[in-house]
Amino acid sequence: MDDRSTGRELPEAECWVRLRGEEFGRLGYHLVDEVHIVPLNYVVDGERIVLRTTPGSKLLGVEMSSDVAFEIDGQAGDRVWSVLARGQAHRLEGADARAADELPLPAWIETERYVNIAIQVTELTGREFLRRG
């Protein structure tokens, strides 16, 4: 098999390892009749992805339609890979929100982010390829 063209599927357990090993990804969500993709920081908590945001389009999109996709990618040596999670996102409230406040969720920019969102992953896939060259 030629990994350059067909690659290999990553087992679900390996997808989780890669998700836990990164802190920056892209959230895809619906807002009215548009699809949005935004970069953001995240942390994995059990088998869900947790992020923080402010009131705005991300939060509105998740509250209007909970179906989301989340993607990370990377490279290591001569390999490139990506992991795609699909699931249901919801705003965390009460004790769940307070517990999420204690998670080690890095912030790359200085801004007040005080709304926690969790993505309950329902499908997780990944691929790895040999880099061209």
Output the pLDDT for position 4. Answer: 53
Contacts of 58 (CB under 8 A, 6+ apart): 27, 29, 36, 38, 40, 117
Per-residue pLDDT tens over the stretch 67-125: 999 999 999 889 999 999 999 999 999 999 999 999 998 777 777 768 999 999 999 99
Output the pLDDT for position 68. Answer: 97
Mind listing the domains of the chain with CATH numbers? 8-124 (2.30.110.10)
1: confidence class by pLDDT, cuts 50, 70, 90: very low
Output the pLDDT for position 54. Answer: 84
Residue 45 reports pLDDT greater than 90:
yes
The model scores a pTM over 0.75: yes
Rounded-to-integer distance, Cα 6 and Cα 12, Å = 18
DSSP string, 15-84: HHHHHHH--EEEEEEEETTEEEEEEEE-EEETTEEEEEE-TTHHHHHHHH--EEEEEEEEEETTEEEEEE
